[in-house]
Structure 1
Amino acid sequence: MRIGIIGAGALGGTFAALLSRAGHEVEVTARGAGLVAIREAGIRLSGGYGDAFARVAAGERLSARPELVLVCTKAHDAAAAIEANAALIDGVPVVVVQNGLDGVTTAERLLPASSCLGVLSIIAANYTEPGVVRVTTTATSYLGRGDGPADAECVRIAAVLSDAVPVVAIPGFRGAQWTKLVVNMVNAVPTIVGRSVQDVIDDGPLRRVVAASMRETVRVGIARGVRFGALQGLGDRRLRFFARLPLVVGQVLPWLMRVRMGNVPNLGSTQQSVRRGQPTEIDYLNGAVVREASVAGLDAPINRALTALVHEVEDGGSSLPAQRVIDAVRS
């Protein structure tokens, strides 16, 4: 199958290399040093899925109409990237592989003739060198759309992507997006202090902050009427129970996530953006919690503080002392 991948960073590069290895014809979009590296030396993948090398067509925009499109940009880049390729891909099935809550609705708005779906990926991959990706944690990815059951197209596209990595079509996709948002709360604190996710969760006071941001996210979701989808052993019943726990007990949630990660340092996607000198998608992660809380007539002070601190790191270009995180959340 001809597959176009918009955004060949950590996840886009992973899917590109593995889909190419599975025999699909892959074209990617990239920018700057990443585009130069892919054109000159292809995409090199290592880590959890083994070594793979993909010599793929690459440009700032797709050059040929594909049969399937994956949008793998950061959330804040999605609209511009889709618009740049819209004339070529409108009418083609589009799968948005992205954090946050808005990716599929953005694609639907910009591509009215396309069937738009979403993928929630728990794969952890480091992309700190152009054209080079190392997978630090493998995981099943989850595909769907809307609130209903997985339809025939979801099942078909999940099977295509499973040529490369395990992808399961799921019901209740919007609820699963909220569950993934809870999982993504591990990103902010490592970005602020410049340490791996594992190091942060191993640090008691910082682990407490991560747990607090997760609990606040779940409570906001409940206030918004969300039924959390099943994802990585988490689901509606378990998360609602977690929302009622005192933090001293609730810290078990980030700890269990840390156990699944293993010991290969996981920087998290937000910190990788900072290290590359690029804007982060924090406004679509912790910032999304703040916005959703406002809609529900609530405040989300923990996620608001973490969002502000990540922006401070973005602006200053260097990490902050751990005490800044602890003090900001206490205030």
Structure 2
Amino acid sequence: MKYAVVGAGAMGLRYGLLLQEVAGKEVDFVEPTKASIDQIKKQGNVVYQSRDHKDKHEVPVKVYSPEEYDEHPDVWIFFMKQMQMADTLKRLAPKFHDDQVAVGAMNGMGHIEKLEAYFAKDKIIGGTAMIATILNDYGDVDFIGASNTGTSAYSNLSGVKTEATKEVMADFQAANLNPSYSNNFMGTLLTKVFFNAVENSIATMFQARVGELLAYDQFIDTIAKPMVHEAYDAADAAGITLLETREEMLVQMDEVARNIVPLHFPSMYQDFVKNRPTEADYINGWIADLAEKNGVAAPTHRFVTNLVHLAEDMRQFNPPVNQLAQ
């Protein structure tokens, strides 16, 4: 399989570099953000890769703007901010073909519906990645955690695992992405959304590493638990069953923050300290919308969405301290 990774941010670089360097696959990066592609080209068509702020080294890459790209990959992997998706797909539309597979493992919700405008259901693979990664700067990525840690999960939108999906899963396994597969499409996607709705949003507002949240010894019981129950109530009302139970989700939140990547700053924080819009509307806001569409309420998630936006506006008075390079 030949891959085109759309978006050379933290997760796009993580997936692409692992596929290229570990699995030995041919990978192209298609970068819709001009400042990012300019920086990578200025560096001599290399990106800098570190692990836990150590062993920084150059990795050669092939990077193109959407307009420049004229290759024919077997698989497109989309990793960008939800608010970038529609425009990027429009720019790439002439490059899409019926034999290609689209993988969307982005944060939040909203991208799958956009992919459906360009790809058939049996060609769309939705996914989630519990893999901590930091973009220090354009073309400079830091893998957080030990090698071959972190997991990812995938599902075909059609509900049927195809031969192409099996090949993608094999390549992802070879790349140390530790993939699993389920025919439960929405359950697969929402498992990560519900996780991020707690740890990403709260860590961002308090400018904290995920492990630091546990300094408040009531974090799981008094903050995470009510938010998880509210999100699961919304899913139940919509007839969606997640891959994990409520209790398993809470145990995972504690384990990830305490033992797996306690020093990680989530992607929402990374946007926040760089004065970019966050994806709160596509995570907490999406959960609140799901609840209301199905006759229940998720007031905490609606409140948290608005608090994140308030924190964004407060940056003009209290500029955040970028701790990513520390």
TM interval, short-chain normalised = 0.7 to 0.9
SS at 2:130 equivalent: coil
Does 1:163 pair with 2:139? no
- Report if the CA contact (8 A) 1:16-1:54 is conserved: no
Q: Name the counterpart of 2:238.
A: 224
1:100 Cα offset (Å) = 2.5
Q: Does 1:109 align with 2:117?
A: yes
Report the AA paired with residue 26 of structure 1. V
Match of 2:202 among 160, 169, 189: 189
Aligned to 2:126: 118
Query: What amino acid does structure 2 have at the position aligned with 1:4?
Result: A
Q: Which residue of 2 aligns with 1:63?
A: 69
Q: CA RMSD in A?
A: 2.6
Q: Is the 8 A contact 1:220 1:293 kept in 2?
A: yes
d(CA) in 2 for partners of 1:226 and 1:101? Answer: 14
What letter corresponds to residue 104 of structure 1 in structure 2? Answer: I
Deviation at 1:305, TM superposition (A): 0.9
Task: For 1:2 and 1:51, locate their aligned partners in 2 and report how far apart those are by CA, in whole Å.
Answer: 27
CA contact (8 A) 1:286 1:303 kept: yes
Structure 1 residues 43 and 211: CA distance shift in structure 2, 3 A: farther
User: What aligned pairs does 1:284-323 form with structure 2 within 5 A after superposition?
Assistant: 284-317=282-315
Cα deviation for residue 319 of structure 1 reads 9.7
User: Distance between the aligned counterparts of 1:218 and 1:114, measured in 2?
Assistant: 27
Q: CA deviation at 1:228?
A: 1.1
Evaluate the alpha carbon distance shift between residue 251 and residue 141 of structure 1 in structure 2; reply closer, same or farther with a 3 A threshold: closer
1:253 shift after superposition = 5.3
In structure 2, how many angstroms separate the alpha carbons of the residues matched to 1:125 and 1:225?
32
1:195, 1:267 within 8 Å by CA — same for their partners in 2? yes
CA contact (8 A) 2:122 2:158 kept: no
- Secondary structure at the aligned position of 1:162 is classed as helix
Give the aligned partner of residue 329 of structure 1. none
- Please say if residues 7 and 71 of structure 1, whose CA atoms lie closer than 8 Å, have aligned partners that are also in contact: yes
3-12 vs 43-52, which moves further: 43-52
Output aligned runs, 1:1-331, within 5 Å: 1-21=1-21, 22-30=23-31, 31-41=33-43, 42-47=46-51, 53-61=58-66, 63-65=69-71, 66-91=73-98, 92-112=100-120, 115-137=123-145, 138-146=149-157, 148-165=159-176, 166-185=178-197, 186-204=199-217, 206-207=219-220, 208-229=222-243, 235=244, 238-239=245-246, 254-263=253-262, 265-317=263-315
Task: Give the Cα–Cα distance (whole angstroms) in 2 for the partners of residues 312 and 194 of structure 1.
Answer: 14
Distance 2:95 2:163 in 1: 25
Question: Which residue is equivalent to 1:247?
Answer: none
- 1:78 shift after superposition: 1.5
- CA-to-aligned-CA distance 1:201-239 (integer Å, 9 cap, x gap): 33235543233222211111111111112xxxxx2xx32
CA distance in 1, matches of 2:171, 2:255: 31
The sequence identity of aligned pairs, in percent, is 22
User: Deviation at 1:147?
Assistant: 7.0
Measure how far apart 1:45 and its partner are: 2.1
- Residue identity in the other structure for 1:128: N
Contact 1:189 1:206 in 2 (8 A): no
Q: Secondary structure at the match of 2:239?
A: coil
SS at match of 1:314: helix
- CA-to-partner distance for each residue in 1:160-201, whole Å, 9 max, x for gaps? 233322223322122111222221121101111111111123
TM-score, normalised by the number of residues in structure 2: 0.84
Tell me how far apart the structure 2 counterparts of residues 27 and 262 of structure 1 sit (CA, whole Å).
29
Report if the CA contact (8 A) 1:136-1:261 is conserved: no
Aligned counterparts of 2:123 and 2:227: Cα–Cα separation in 1: 34
